[in-house]
Amino acid sequence: MPEGDTLARTAAGLRPWLVGRPVLAARTGGPGAVPKVERVVGARVTAVESIGKNLIIRLDNGLELRTHLRMQGSWHRYRPGERWRRPPGRARLVLEVEGSVAVCFDAPVVELFEQRAELVHPSLSALGPDLLAEDADIDEAVRRLRAAARAAVPIGGALLDQRALAGIGNEVKNEALWQAACSPWAPVGDLDDAMLRRLVELGRGILREGAETGRRPRHVYHRAGRPCQRCGSIIRLAHQGSELPRPTYWCPGCQGRGPDG
């Protein structure tokens, strides 16, 4: 699943080609087709932004488009008439402006709604602080992680909860926990505020590096069976979470406890 830094780079890549230009044509298809997407035709794009793992396209007629790419989705930009790199049948949203065609493939979530509804949007309004925002509220992210309902939740799962803090995905989670020498299975309630703050700040730093350079550190992620770069112990892999188990990589030597204690 694309993480916050990937969405930030996607927004940055689309912005020069869309912002300030009127939409000449719009169409949608496949699962999650957007009703009345033609309402954006003639409107001028005013902004392309990422909020956590969401990409938002704002228009000057008071509407906005939201996509969430989940595991398989992606945005592409083409010149008019250029051959697409994926089959047209996989296009969920197509926006044409002068000189460019922006295509969102395979995204399970594509929405059109009024900008004034963003404050009460069931997903956007529930997001925690966006760690890639210039004014990201670290204190609020720590406060949300510290909520009583998360006390028994393993920190490896809590860091992925976009209602606590927005932008961190599985790879960044693994790397931040390794850098902090923190067990992914430690319950949030067992960690002090200093550790929670360190994890939030490390996650933010990794996301910012990824947004700026397109690269992330790889100390543990996809390194199961290889020696830890810090202590030499063998990196292990286990799946974490009940609703959507995610691969968790950790070093039992310097991060301590595993899923079996």
Establish whether 3 is a catalytic residue.
Answer: yes
φ, ψ of residue 74 in degrees (nearest 5):
-160, 155
Instruction: List the beta bridge partners of residue 44.
Output: 22
Establish whether 44 is a catalytic residue.
Answer: no
Distance between CA 182 and CA 251 in Å, rounded? 9
Establish whether 116 is a catalytic residue.
Answer: no
Tell me the Cα Rg of the chain.
20
Q: How would you classify residue 232: left for phi > 0, otherwise alpha for psi between -120 and 50, otherwise beta?
A: left
Structure tokens at 63: 């509407």
Distance between CA 236 and CA 219 in Å, rounded? 12
Q: Which of 173, 204, 236, 246 is catalytic?
A: 246
| Residue 25: its H or E element | strand 25-28
Distance between CA 184 and CA 260 in Å, rounded? 12
Establish whether 108 is a catalytic residue.
Answer: no
Q: How many C-beta atoms lie closer than 10 Å to residue 115's C-beta?
A: 15
E-strand stretches of 190-241: 236-240
Q: Which residues are catalytic?
A: 2-3, 53, 246
